[in-house]
Chains A and B, each alone.
Chain A
């Protein structure tokens, strides 16, 4: 197959505390710093902030919508900046390259970036997808 065309950017948000809570319930990470304002301020933060893994999950959605849910073989994120209530995140694929895997199958290596509305990089992502 030929290397696929890069997907359009996607903007998600503004993110709400409800989005954070729904992810926390789904994942089981109930750290109050993501939903309890007084707890977050007591820990020295200006407000609650997003679960990094929610932002990663939204990136997973963006990439699997493009290359297929069954095809993901590796998904890696580096958390670079915190994400706050009201933020709009832009999801973008910066590059895709094709290579042959150990078993002879064709794999796609995908680099992606998630930015806040002010340009801060929230996540840098690297993923590998099967093309089978």
Chain B
């Protein structure tokens, strides 16, 4: 872990800049192919529902300033994606829906790893709201920074 890591209390609650995210028909279809589904619910009609993990594609609409950790130094080689969660308040958003996303640091904490060494967890939640301000979905990602060397492939 980097000595320059900021204190958790300085990070929790930080938000990025809001960003627009339009659920596009072609992107929903591309995502269906990439996640190897042939479910017609994703592939037919002008406004199919988006996939369970489709909100990952919001990256196409984010800038570096959408990230609440923009400007915070970190060691990229030792970052793992630990967990990811999507919560939908109703059905997942359909193609044609214009959303506004806002990312916030929800939690930062440190644990001792099983093989020694501190592991720093950062939980970032993204709220997606429709044009009326209604909360449509939340994405919650947990990033883990470790001082471990990368794991080896096992056959």
Residues of A within 8 A of B (CB): 12, 19, 22-23, 25-29, 43-47, 49, 52-54, 56-58, 60-61, 63-65, 68-79, 82, 84, 118, 120, 127, 130
Question: Which residues of A sit under 8 angstroms from B80, Cβ to Cβ?
Answer: 79
Query: Counting CB contacts under 8 A, is B82 at the interface?
Result: yes
Interface residue total, chain B, C-beta cutoff 8 A: 40
Minimum CB–CB distance for B49 against chain A, Å: 5
Interface hub of B33, B56, B57, B58 (most chain A Cβ within 10 A): B56
| A–B Cβ pairs within 8 angstroms, 29 of them | A12-B36, A26-B33, A26-B35, A27-B31, A28-B58, A28-B59, A46-B152, A52-B84, A53-B53, A54-B34, A56-B84, A57-B35, A58-B36, A60-B51, A60-B52, A61-B39, A64-B41, A64-B51, A69-B49, A69-B92, A70-B92, A74-B86, A75-B52, A76-B83, A76-B85, A76-B86, A77-B85, A127-B52, A130-B91
Contact of A53 among B81, B88, B91 (CB under 8 A): B81
Interface hub of A43, A47, A60, A84 (most chain B Cβ within 10 A): A60
Query: Counting CB contacts under 8 A, is B97 at the interface?
Result: no
Closest to A128 in B: B87
Whether the Cβ atoms of B57 and A118 lie closer than 8 Å is no
Question: Which residues of B sit under 8 angstroms from A68, Cβ to Cβ?
Answer: 41
A130 to B48, CA, bound (A): 18
A60 to B60, CA, bound (A): 21
Closest to A124 in B: B83
Question: Which residues of A sit under 8 angstroms from B30, Cβ to Cβ?
Answer: 25-26
Interface string of B50-92 (1 = CB under 8 A from A): 0111001111100000000000000001001111111110011
Question: Which residues of A sit under 8 angstroms from B56, Cβ to Cβ?
Answer: 27-29, 53, 57
Closest to A61 in B: B37
A73 to B91, CA, bound (A): 7
